[in-house]
Amino acid sequence: MLRSLYQWVLRIASGPYALPVMACVAVIEATFPFVPPDVMLAPMVLARRERAWLYATVCTAGSVTGGMIGYAIGALLGGVAMKVLTLSGHPHALDSFKALFAQYGLAVILIKGFTPVPYMLVTLAAGMAKFSFPVFVAASIATRGGRFFLEAALLQHPKAQAIIERHLTALAIAGVVVVIGVVLLVKHLGLG
């Protein structure tokens, strides 16, 4: 089943609408609970390695644009932002963000923007906390771009697809374990 799902995602990723869909996913994920854009970026790079940098650029631009929208919702529509955070299971994200920012400063945005922790937590909370918008945008470009370009660089390697196909199940399990581990670590450190 995992292999057929993998083949299906690769077919979708090489289709004519993959790029605008990935851009939309990146915008939405930065503002509301949604799947991360990596779900589109990875198979798109595997399907067309020569376009890896274009895909990473579009993914970064979409994510940063979504981040700015999330920031604006937090700054201008605090009640809506709180409802989104509460509905997504993070009703104390603003208090947590303020406390962590007071303790760690800009590192909070840099860490959360690079990890699999939902980026919308950062965008909405940063807007609600009235965090410096230019610094927020710069940090978003650095962390989201760093994440997506690193992913594209790794997947662009000529042997990446063969390695993934040979070890698909093990990599899927390892990916789930890493995501769970990062989420637990972030929660343990009080970053989530």
Contact 139, 106 (CB under 8 A): yes
Q: Domain coordinates of the chain in residue numbers?
A: 2-188
Task: Give all strands (DSSP E) within 47-117, no chain letters.
Answer: none
Q: In the chain, which residues have pLDDT < 50?
A: none
The per-residue pLDDT for range 133-174, each reduced to its tens digit, is 999 999 999 999 999 999 999 999 888 778 777 876 777 777
Burial readout 97-109 (b: 16 or more C-beta within 10 A, e: otherwise): beebbeeeeeebb
pLDDT of residue 179: 64
User: How many alpha carbons lie under 13 Å from residue 13 in its C-beta half-sphere?
Assistant: 22
